[in-house]
């Protein structure tokens, strides 16, 4: 079932989104050559705690997962696409990191992700991050009243294709509100003019995941969580929670 949010609910989601943005900024600020992923998690956790927010990631256990998720962020490095566990791995010069974070505040949820490099960046990684950002921007721009979910999916896919990047087609965006994952599903590939109609008050997490190797294949790591490219190529993942409004798409996960 899809819940259309009231304007008051969207205001509350904006506050949850602010916490997410601040937590991501703290995780990014903590990231440097030699930093452990666990320290990025601790930095994000401190922001959530200060705001009195709950993590929808911590202890999360979807059907595919063998264990409850142990962090408040997902930290996915290099060939990891998403769902990476913030463990004792120490960041190295030139690593590409994607950090995904959620927060629940006063019963409403925000979800966002960023990708960035540590130390001296590889030019190809910067291009991949820029393409993923363009895909997200295109998806958000398509999230207007009168469009359908397929218009968002198609806009994301068009950028991925132009950048010759692959995408893990089983994973994509989602409705969001009282829970992190709500209907409708927002695939990163689809046909324009098809799918759920976009109305004022619909809140969506839009999250392209681009894989530089150009193939759609991925595998799940032995940890049961981390999604990795099968060809070893690098991946980027950028996400915002947005609201469809009569005034246009409103990004909720900003500082
Ligand atoms: Mg997310
Ligand atoms: Mg999400």
pLDDT in tens for each of the 255 residues of the chain? 899 999 999 999 999 999 999 999 999 999 999 999 999 999 999 999 999 999 999 999 988 889 999 999 999 999 999 999 999 999 999 999 999 999 999 999 999 999 999 999 999 999 999 999 999 999 999 999 999 999 999 999 999 999 999 999 899 999 999 999 999 999 999 999 999 999 999 999 999 999 999 999 999 999 999 999 999 999 999 999 999 999 999 999 999
What's the 125 CA to ligand 2 centre distance in angstroms?
A: 22
Q: How high is the pLDDT of residue 211?
A: 98
Cα 115 from chain centroid? Answer: 9
Q: How high is the pLDDT of residue 251?
A: 99
Q: How high is the pLDDT of residue 33?
A: 98
Q: Is residue 1 part of a domain?
A: no
What's the 181 CA to ligand 1 centre distance in angstroms?
A: 10
Residue 72: C-alpha distances to residues 119, 190, 205 (Å): 24, 31, 17
What's the 113 CA to ligand 1 centre distance in angstroms?
A: 6
Q: How high is the pLDDT of residue 169?
A: 85
Q: Which of 128, 45, 25, 53 is nearest to 86 (CA)?
A: 45
Q: Tell me how many domains the chain contains.
A: 1
Q: How high is the pLDDT of residue 64?
A: 85
Please give the Cα distance from 243 to 202 (Å, whole number): 6
Q: How long is the chain?
A: 255
Provide the phi-psi class of 208: left if phi over 0, else alpha when psi is between -120 and 50, else beta. beta
Q: Which of 113, 76, 77 is nearest to 94 (CA)?
A: 77
Q: Which of 94, 89, 74, 96 is nearest to 171 (CA)?
A: 74
Q: How high is the pLDDT of residue 81?
A: 98
pTM of the model: 0.98
Secondary element (H or E) of residue 104: strand 96-105
Q: Is residue 77 part of a domain?
A: yes
Q: Is residue 2 part of a domain?
A: no
Q: Which domain CATH number covers 13?
A: 3.90.230.10
What's the 33 CA to ligand 1 centre distance in angstroms?
A: 24
Please give the Cα distance from 176 to 109 (Å, whole number): 7
- Counting ligands in written order, the one closest to the CA of 242 is 2
What's the 100 CA to ligand 1 centre distance in angstroms?
A: 5
What's the 231 CA to ligand 2 centre distance in angstroms?
A: 24
Domain that holds residue 35: 7-251
Q: Is residue 171 part of a domain?
A: yes
What's the 17 CA to ligand 1 centre distance in angstroms?
A: 11
């Amino acid at each position: 079932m899809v819940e259309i949010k009231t304007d008051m609910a969207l205001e509350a989601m904006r506050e949850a989104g602010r916490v997410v943005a601040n937590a991501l900024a703290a995780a990014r600020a903590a990231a440097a050559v030699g930093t452990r992923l666990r320290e990025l998690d601790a930095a994000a956790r401190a922001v959530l705690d200060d705001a009195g927010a709950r993590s929808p990631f911590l202890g999360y256990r979807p059907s595919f997962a063998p264990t409850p998720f142990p962090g408040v962020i997902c930290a996915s490095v290099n060939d990891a696409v998403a769902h990476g566990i913030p463990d004792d791995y120490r960041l190295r010069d030139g690593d590409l990191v994607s950090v995904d974070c959620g927060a629940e505040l006063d019963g409403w949820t925000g979800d966002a992700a960023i990708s960035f490099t540590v130390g001296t960046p590889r030019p190809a990684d910067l291009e991949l991050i820029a393409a993923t950002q363009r895909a997200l921007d295109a998806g958000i721009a398509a999230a207007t009243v009168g469009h359908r979910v397929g218009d968002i999916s198609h806009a994301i896919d068009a950028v991925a294709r132009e950048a010759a990047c692959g995408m893990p087609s089983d994973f994509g965006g989602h409705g969001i509100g009282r829970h992190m994952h709500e209907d409708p599903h927002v695939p990163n590939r689809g046909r324009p003019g098809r799918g759920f109609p976009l109305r004022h008050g619909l809140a969506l997490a839009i999250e392209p995941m681009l894989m530089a190797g150009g193939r759609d294949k991925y595998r799940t790591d032995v940890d049961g969580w981390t999604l990795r490219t099968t060809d070893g190529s690098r991946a980027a993942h950028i996400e915002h929670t947005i609201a469809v409004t009569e005034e246009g798409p409103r990004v909720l996960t900003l500082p």
